[in-house]
Every structure is written in C-alpha cells, then in structure tokens.
C-alpha cells in the first residue's frame, strides 16, 4: 500500500529481506559452525588436535549455539510488514518515530540493473546504526525531493554500505 499526499508519503515494507539460500549454503554454514565449535575445545600442536580441557572456550561455544538457534528460529518466521511514513515532523518506522533532527543526512540509491532501490538515513549519533529502508515500487526521485526539504543529502554515497553488500553476498 502506497499513499502519496503533499503532506506525507506512506508505504509498507517487510521487516527484513529473506535471502534465497541454496542447499550448499546450509552445508557451508554447518561446516563453519562445526569448525568454530571444534576451535572452542581443541587446538593444534604439530598438526595434532589437542583437547583444551578446562581451558576450553565455553562462553564462545555458548554464543555460537545461541546464534545458530536464533538463525533457525528466524528462518521459520515470516517477516512482519512495517509501515513507513515520511511527513513534515519526521519519519515513522513501524511504532518508532524519528525526528529529522536525529539524522545527519540521507541518501537514495537507485540501481535498477542490480535491483537496488533503498533509502539510507544516517544518524547524528554514531552508535545508532543507519536505517536502510527499501523503496519497493516508489519513485526514488519523489522520496529524494520530499526529504531534501528537511535533511541534507549525502551525494557521496553512490553504493550501498559495505555491511549491506556483504550481508547480501553471504545471504545472511
């Protein structure tokens, strides 16, 4: 659902993107997890595995197991639909409202051949991660022209952030 009004622009996006993972990805992930768990309890001395015993890294093993459990749980759950609304006061993402004063700048990246059409909002607070919002069927120029009235545009950003590129390439 897309609503365009002179006062606001409203649309809906899924909470997260579901990557298309082949069986080989799951096999590689399983091998990677087993190798990490092995490294928690064993070390190599002259190419011979040696059990670490009480010096094993139990906390790291627990973190790996929790990360795998969270990944499997999220794999089964479909993403929720989130409402996005841009208006004269700020940006509403689901139930969270962000005032324009919270943001340093924005960038709209549109690359149709790579199927990239996203809005990136960088916060003034360096600890807060950037917002990446898919524009789906919206016209990127409409979003840019609306936001430029309230925020500075980051004209240097012409590619998606490296973290997002790696996430897409690794299918995370």
Domain 6-14+81-169's class?
A: mainly beta
Cα dist. 139→70, 112, 118, 151 in Å? 35, 12, 11, 18
Tell me the C-alpha distance between 111 and 55, whole Å.
Answer: 50
Q: What is the pLDDT of residue 100?
A: 93
Average per-residue pLDDT for the chain: 89
pLDDT tier at 3, thresholds 50, 70, 90: low
At 45 the three-state DSSP class reads strand
Contact 19, 171 (CB under 8 A): yes
| In the chain, where the domains are located | 6-14+81-169, 23-76
Q: What is the pLDDT of residue 1?
A: 60
Average pLDDT over residues 121-129: 91
Q: What is the pLDDT of residue 13?
A: 92
Average pLDDT over residues 56-85: 91
Pairing of strands 103-111, 152-153: parallel
Average pLDDT over residues 55-83: 91
Asked whether residue 108 carries a pLDDT value surpassing 90, the answer given is yes
pTM summary value: 0.80
Asked whether residue 156 carries a pLDDT value surpassing 80, the answer given is yes
Average pLDDT over residues 156-162: 85
Average pLDDT over residues 154-169: 85
Q: What is the pLDDT of residue 107?
A: 92
Q: What is the pLDDT of residue 16?
A: 83
Asked whether residue 60 carries a pLDDT value surpassing 90, the answer given is yes
Q: What is the pLDDT of residues 162-172, one digit of tens each?
A: 888 888 888 87
Which range is least confidently modeled, 62-66, 102-106, 134-138? 134-138
Asked whether residue 5 carries a pLDDT value surpassing 70, the answer given is no
DSSP state of 123: E
């Amino acid at each position: 659902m897309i609503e365009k009004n002179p006062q606001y622009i409203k649309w809906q996006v899924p909470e997260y993107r579901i990557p298309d993972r082949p069986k080989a990805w799951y096999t590689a992930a399983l091998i990677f997890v087993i190798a990490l768990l092995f490294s928690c309890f064993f070390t190599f001395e002259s190419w011979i595995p040696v059990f670490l015993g009480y010096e094993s890294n139990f906390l790291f093993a627990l973190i790996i197991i929790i990360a795998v459990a969270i990944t499997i749980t999220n794999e089964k759950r479909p993403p929720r639909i989130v409402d996005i609304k841009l208006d004269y006061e700020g940006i509403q993402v689901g139930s969270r409202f962000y005032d324009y004063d919270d943001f340093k700048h924005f960038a709209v990246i549109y690359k149709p051949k790579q199927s990239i059409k996203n809005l990136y909002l960088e916060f003034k607070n360096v600890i807060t991660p950037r917002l990446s919002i898919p524009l789906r069927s919206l016209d990127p120029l409409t979003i840019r022209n609306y936001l430029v009235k309230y925020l500075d545009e980051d004209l240097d950003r012409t590619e998606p952030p490296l973290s997002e590129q790696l996430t897409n390439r690794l299918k995370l």
